[in-house]
């Protein structure tokens, strides 16, 4: 996420703040699902699945969960792809 935020702007401070905001948003997404009344709701399930905190829970217990590992590798690949596209679009301008 940091590389993507850095590719979007030329200012380091803006990149750092936006990277922190994206990370915090992904981390706390699962907690927002607990404030809704119906936890079986589709949006609540998606929020819990996307939350970094839920995937980090197994790592904090010392368990390497395949689902969490695939999630983090996929998230890394997705943001590297986004970064590549931003840098590539700037090259052609």
pLDDT higher than 80, residue 32: no
Residue 65: CB partners within 8 Å, gap ≥ 6? 55, 58, 59
Please write the tens of the pLDDT for every residue from 36-92: 666 667 777 788 788 888 888 888 999 899 999 999 999 999 999 999 999 999 887
Please state the pTM of the whole predicted model: 0.79
When pLDDT is averaged across residues 20-45 and rounded to a whole number, the result is 79
**Rounded to 5 degrees, what angle do the CA atoms 62, 48, 65 make?**
25
Whole-angstrom distance, CA of residue 40 vs CA of residue 59: 25
Whole-angstrom distance, CA of residue 15 vs CA of residue 84: 16
């Amino acid at each position: 996420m940091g590389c993507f935020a850095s590719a979007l702007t030329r200012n380091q401070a803006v990149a750092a703040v936006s990277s922190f905001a994206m990370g915090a948003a992904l981390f706390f997404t699962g907690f927002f699902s607990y404030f809704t009344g119906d936890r079986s709701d589709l949006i609540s399930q998606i929020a819990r699945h996307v939350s970094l905190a839920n995937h980090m829970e197994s790592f904090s217990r010392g368990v390497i969960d395949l689902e969490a590992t695939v999630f983090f590798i996929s998230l890394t690949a997705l943001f590297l792809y986004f970064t590549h596209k931003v840098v590539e679009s700037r090259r052609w301008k």
